[in-house]
Structure 1
Amino acid sequence: MAEDKFEKIDEQVDPQEQGRQPGFEKDMSPEPIYDDKDYKGAGKLEGKVALITGGDSGIGRAVAIAFAKEGANVAIAYLDEHEDAEKTVKEIESYGVKAFKSATDVSDVENCNQLVVDVISEFGQLNVLVNNAGKQFPQDDFLNISPDQLMETFTTNIFSMFYLSQAAIPHMQKGDSIINTSSVTAYRGSSELIDYSATKGAITTFTRSLSQSLSDKGIRVNSVAPGPIWTPLIPASFDAGKVGEHGGDTPMERRGQPSEVAPAYVYFASKDSTYVTGQAIHVNGGDFISS
């Protein structure tokens, strides 16, 4: 997909805001690019089963479709965005694989345990866990971050990764993988997303530590750290003015599309990365360059 196509679409972003986490893709204008038609699958995930949290929309939807193109059966978990989730299921199935969806709150440990039980019941196995669900609540003043906000951000963004990984690992084998969604904010910080950035920093360290813990089992653990990507989380988090400027301050001077992030997850899920664990791929338009 040519870069000028992304730039052309980026110029057409309408002023918009949703004010409700984690947001609806169906209400975005223009709709994010979640399926790069130029991306052709090569059977890299045939015979695999993947579970993706936050899989109804945004990066999660794009990853689900990319995995489907590579031959994986895909389960998605989401909060309550039923219309978005149903569309994602249809997109997955259009590539000739099976899909499963579950509306659940992954900030609760019992929900996470049941989710994995349901996936195993549906498919009989679990090979790739993508911990992708997340929320963010911008605050101009650090003192305005309430205990309730702090708890919601941490339970959704990082506690859920502990819960789901603990539930999934007993069902995983050598060659399987866990992929966590971090963020550029974990590396450069964000003055208005301090609690969110802190969870993403925790995810980075969680990834490195869990990779060491599971190395003897042959289960790889890596992360993807996106920059400003056009997902429902953006109009759900910021006012219309900031939404319109989103991504404009990157060296590439544009926001990224979910389809531009998805191949990084395919790499970590497939045999292409058999000698890679505890690492992060930065997909951010040059917003942050890792040392």
Structure 2
Amino acid sequence: MNTAAAEALPPPPVEDASPQVVDQVAIARLYGEPLFALPQDLYIPPDALEVFLEAFEGPLDLLLYLIRRQNFNILDIPMAEVTRQYLGYVEQVRARNLELAAEYLLMAAMLIEIKSRMLLPPAPAADGEEPEDPRAELVRRLLEYEQIKLAARALDALPQCGRDFWRAQVHIEQSLAPRLPQVSPDDLRAAWRDILRRARLVQRHTITREEISVREVMSGVLRALQGRRFVEFTELFDPGRGVVHAVVTFIAVLELAKEQLIEVTQAEVFAPIYVRLAYQPC
């Protein structure tokens, strides 16, 4: 066959690499391709997939679950069936966690003991009373545990701060009265300089010796403040009476403030200074 004839022949059919599967459902998809059977060399560790159907808080919780799930009478427990189901669960737990199964094994021994005592004829009581049921102690413990468990659920259903609601916090000013700034010595000194400056503007040429009592001026200041809520600091001085009287008046004001009979206040920085009585009659 020559080259021209070989080129005229159609190309050979391409084999389909997809699996020829009919009437089967893919169990999974790997990289977008259907997977109809598990690989033979796939290794799955025994603990890779574990499903815990129930989580119990202890042996009593497991016993109560078995009894309530099958609607057994808790006062007449069928020990054979309950013990069989309990031992089956303990065997599964022991295969996975031996330390966790220790507490369950102790209850299993108690169940087997109760079951064996029920198989034996009851020992006659010394006083002729009916012998006690071997299940009585177990029933008492189960009833107490169920009451505690229901009470815990009821408490958990109550609204809790931080889980169901948040506590509202509002800042309330403790003192509603306005807090006036404290009068500093510098403010008093500046006010005193201003009074001296105004007093020097009025000059008297009469040379006399005037004796002024500080106590009398203190009484005059208190009389001037009577019936008035605030009096400006400068109103307490009479520049027309000279510097001596202004000095005595200033000393009287300081003495009254020292004895806490008057209060010297100021609304804000660089504001006028006011004087008022420390005790305001009703």
Flag the structure with higher strand content: 1
Q: Which has the higher contact order (CA 8 A, sep 6+)?
A: 1
TM-score normalized by the length of structure 2: 0.20
When Rg is computed on C-alpha atoms for both structures, the one with the higher figure is: 2
With normalisation by structure 1, the TM-score equals 0.19
